[in-house]
Amino acid sequence: MAIVLYGIGASPFVRKVRVFLAEKGIPHEREDVIPVNVSPEYRKISPLGKIPAMRDGDRTLCDSSIICSYLERTHPEPALYPSDPYEHGRALWFEEYGDTALANVIGPKVFFQRIVAPRFFNQQTDEAVVQKAIDEELPPLFDYLESQLGDGNAFVGKRFSIADIGIATHFVNLRHAGVGVDPKRWPKLARFVAAVHERPSFKALIEEERPMFGSNA
Ligand SMILES: N[C@@H](CCC(=O)N[C@@H](CS)C(=O)NCC(=O)O)C(=O)O
């Protein structure tokens, strides 16, 4: 029985798992769940009512980080977590940085304001909120990420890992909202985002999402 992933494409957390599944070539199905007033049935799988959640036969799990960690053990190849203990810890840190620091600004202050509010809630974008995020809140986060990249396009070691998926997924939401990374100010980060979004796993999802969530800018 195929793995079922619950959630919608616009969520960076759902996308993280979808990219992870694609990179490993794991067959799966997806069922749309919008995380507003979720059913009691869904809450049994995801007690906080959030997306994503996953069913693998009679087993269920929620939370993108936990689902990816489970899938790494059920489908070890290709490895998407570093084997070295310190590098493993560093990879989890970057995933966490994406899921908290980046998500807390990009989600509500840029993607929600520019895409979700006007298109799905019939609310006007508060451009002041968006501009403050772009001018003041994102730059220190980008400065940190820039300082952590070397010559290659991997945050940890030389191989693509959960660290890169966990960071790059949030930049898809930024991209949909018409906001890029200035290559003059953050050359390594801009190069990283461009390279990772070109991977077939990311590229296919970006194309799929663009008609519904992409900016017209
Ligand atoms: N730590 C969770 C975060 C998931 C999350 O916040 N998902 C959002 C959608 S992007 C959600 O379901 N929000 C609804 C809510 O918080 O009630 C994960 O990694 O899966």
Q: How far is the CA of 50 from the centre of ligand 1 (A)?
A: 4
Residue that the structure tokens 């001018």 belong to: 135
Look up residue 195 and give its two tokens: 């390279």
Name which of 210, 98, 104 is nearest 165 in CA terms.
Answer: 98
Residue that the structure tokens 């991209």 belong to: 175
Q: Is the CB of 51 under 6 A from ligand 1?
A: yes
Which tens digits make up the pLDDT trace of 51-72?
Answer: 999 999 999 999 999 999 999 9
Amino acid at 131: Q
Half-sphere exposure of 123 (CA within 13 A, CB side): 11
* Model pLDDT, residue 1: 73
Q: What pLDDT band is residue 215 in, cutting at 50, 70 and 90?
A: confident
Q: Is the CB of 60 under 6 A from ligand 1?
A: no
Mean pLDDT of 9-18: 96
* Model pLDDT, residue 217: 54
Look up residue 186 and give its two tokens: 């953050």
Look up residue 89 and give its two tokens: 């810890």
Residue closest by Cα to atom 10 of ligand 1: 11
How long a stretch of residues is the chain?
217
Determine the Cα–Cα distance for residues 165 and 154; give it in Å rounded to an integer: 10
Question: In which region does residue 174 sit, left (phi positive, over 0), alpha (psi from -120 to 50) or beta (all else)?
Answer: alpha
Return the best residue to mutate from 50, 100, 104 for the ligand 1 pocket (most ligand atoms within 8 A of CB): 50
**206, pLDDT greater than 70:** yes
Q: Is the CB of 161 under 6 A from ligand 1?
A: no
Which tens digits make up the pLDDT trace of 67-93?
Answer: 999 999 999 999 999 999 999 999 999
Determine the Cα–Cα distance for residues 76 and 101; give it in Å rounded to an integer: 29
Look up residue 94 and give its two tokens: 């970057």
User: E strands, the chain, where?
Assistant: 3-6, 28-31, 53-56, 59-62
Alpha helices in 126-199 (DSSP H): 127-132, 138-148, 162-176, 187-197
Q: Is the CB of 69 under 6 A from ligand 1?
A: no
Which tens digits make up the pLDDT trace of 93-127?
Answer: 999 999 999 999 999 999 999 999 999 999 999 99
* Model pLDDT, residue 50: 98
Determine the Cα–Cα distance for residues 172 and 164; give it in Å rounded to an integer: 12
Q: How far is the CA of 169 from the centre of ligand 1 (A)?
A: 14
Question: Any residues with CB less than 8 A from the CB of 74 and at least 6 apart, and which?
Answer: 56
Q: Is the pTM of this model over 0.85?
A: yes
Strands 53-56 and 59-62: antiparallel
Q: Is the CB of 64 under 6 A from ligand 1?
A: yes
Residue closest by Cα to atom 20 of ligand 1: 63
Secondary structure letter of residue 7 according to DSSP: S
Residue closest by Cα to atom 16 of ligand 1: 50
Which tens digits make up the pLDDT trace of 136-189?
Answer: 999 999 999 999 999 999 999 999 999 999 999 999 999 999 999 999 999 999
Q: Is the CB of 35 under 6 A from ligand 1?
A: yes
Name which of 59, 26, 65, 35 is nearest 45 in CA terms.
Answer: 59
